[in-house]
Structure 1
Amino acid sequence: MKRRLALTVATLFAIHSPAYGASMTQPDIKLNPHPRMRYEITVKVEGAPGPFDRIEGVVDYRVANEACVPLTPVTGATVPPEKRVPIKLTPAGDNVYKGEIFADLLQDEDYFGKGVCHWSVVATSANLWVKQVDFSAPLFHDDLLKGKAATRYYSNRSYATTQMDRVDVGEANRAQYQDEANATFSVTLHAEEKHP
């Protein structure tokens, strides 16, 4: 009896697992045909102990008003849709890279029949790779829209330790490294709105 109950629970979970933590119906996310909120993203690297294998950028979007999203069948919670879009970062001299994003890239629309869903930028990030290590530096929504720079600090020792696959998010304060504070490098992101 216990075995049958366990098998039934496992089967039900397998049937409903796509709904767990996510909406049963994923919307067909559309691009805004006329985006206007254009921002130039500048990434500046200072004091890195060596080169990076590649430097990539992403911008993450999320539906801001959860009332437009239906409850999930299993958890009974709303899980707002999210979308990650790559950014092309190009060298601009002196360890500076530039790219651009549109804060209104995605189309606000009634995706679920519960009212218009409004997309918002969560953050844009620079990802600097050394072998399997990703040094990730974010610029969050408020700082991005206000034109405020955000700097992350990373340990030179972390740069030299590339044996395992990992993401290093660094520290917002160099002093967190204490005795190693002088053996660090930084990545600064800044966004500037570009008017048409």
Structure 2
Amino acid sequence: MISLRTTAAIAALSLPFTAYGATMTQPDIKQNPNPKMRYEITATIDGAPGPFDRIHGIVDYRVTNELCVPPTPVMGARIVPEKRAELEFHHDHGNVYRATVYLDLLQDEDYFGKGTCHWALMAAGIELDHATVTFSASLFHDDLLAGNAVPRYFAEASYAKAQANRVDTGIADRTQFHGAGSLFSITMKAEERKP
């Protein structure tokens, strides 16, 4: 599974960007002034071998109807806008953290003069920093809407060997872990909250 950090390694949306030799400018993406589709995300950390220096989150949005985006002049590729936002997790109790996301955080609008672009939340994630290692777990769109509890498993040895700067995205199926030692998990789940 690809981490949110990897999937969103793109240029800032306020800057021009290049695809196949053609430069285009990203639109001025607007935030919805009255978002209503609110979900609470719960992250439960189970069996971690020690504390974390920082716990924070990220949420990625993407335009879902690419025909609202003009093709690039040279190759005709459509560069679909994406946007990343910070997600603030608050300690609830014990090993449980919570954050609030809005599915409709960004404004659907005709940004390019080719029809209304519709935004959707692609994934929300939590990142737990320990020394130079970031443990990253994500909850993707379908699981978020379905209210599925999604665990991610990490080797305790990865926590212990924190001298190498890296992102650890763990594994989804603990039976696929073939290393020595124990595992800890981060389980994410979302629940809709009416305004």
Q: What's the TM-score once normalised by structure 2's chain length?
A: 0.87
User: What is the deviation of 1:75?
Assistant: 3.9
Structure 1 alignment gaps of length 5 or more: 1-16
What do the CA deviations read for 1:132-184 (whole angstroms, capped 9, x no partner)? Answer: 2111000000000111111100001111111121111100011111353x600
User: What is the deviation of 1:72?
Assistant: 2.2
Identity %: 55
**Greater Rg by CA:** 1
Contact 1:153-1:184 within 8 A present in 2 as well: yes
Matched, 1:47 2:47: yes
Equivalent residue, structure 2, for 1:168? 168
User: What is the deviation of 1:73?
Assistant: 3.2
Q: Which whole-Å CA distance do the structure 2 matches of 1:18 and 1:142 have between them?
A: 30
Amino acid at match of 2:184: F
More helix by share: 1
Cα distance change of structure 1 residues 82 and 23 upon mapping to structure 2, 3 Å threshold: farther
Structure 2 alignment gaps of length 5 or more: 1-15
User: Secondary structure at the residue paired with 2:192?
Assistant: strand
Q: Which whole-Å CA distance do the structure 2 matches of 1:23 and 1:30 have between them?
A: 22
Q: Which portions of structure 1, spanning 4 or more consecutive aligned residues, are displaced by more than 6 angstroms? A: none
Q: Aligned-residue CA RMSD in angstroms?
A: 1.6
User: Secondary structure at the residue paired with 2:76?
Assistant: coil
Contact 1:60-1:83 within 8 A present in 2 as well: yes
What do the CA deviations read for 1:7-46 (whole angstroms, capped 9, x no partner)? Answer: xxxxxxxxxx942268602010001111110000101000
Q: Which whole-Å CA distance do the structure 1 matches of 2:73 and 2:47 have between them?
A: 50
Matched, 1:190 2:174: no
Q: Which whole-Å CA distance do the structure 1 matches of 2:183 and 2:99 have between them?
A: 25
Q: Which whole-Å CA distance do the structure 1 matches of 2:18 and 2:174 have between them?
A: 42
User: What is the deviation of 1:77?
Assistant: 1.2
Equivalent residue, structure 1, for 2:37? 37
Contact 1:23-1:70 within 8 A present in 2 as well: no
Equivalent residue, structure 1, for 2:158? 158
Q: Which whole-Å CA distance do the structure 1 matches of 2:137 and 2:93 have between them?
A: 19
Q: Which whole-Å CA distance do the structure 2 matches of 1:23 and 1:42 have between them?
A: 40
Greater alpha carbon shift after TM alignment, 18-27 vs 37-46: 18-27
Amino acid at match of 1:86: E
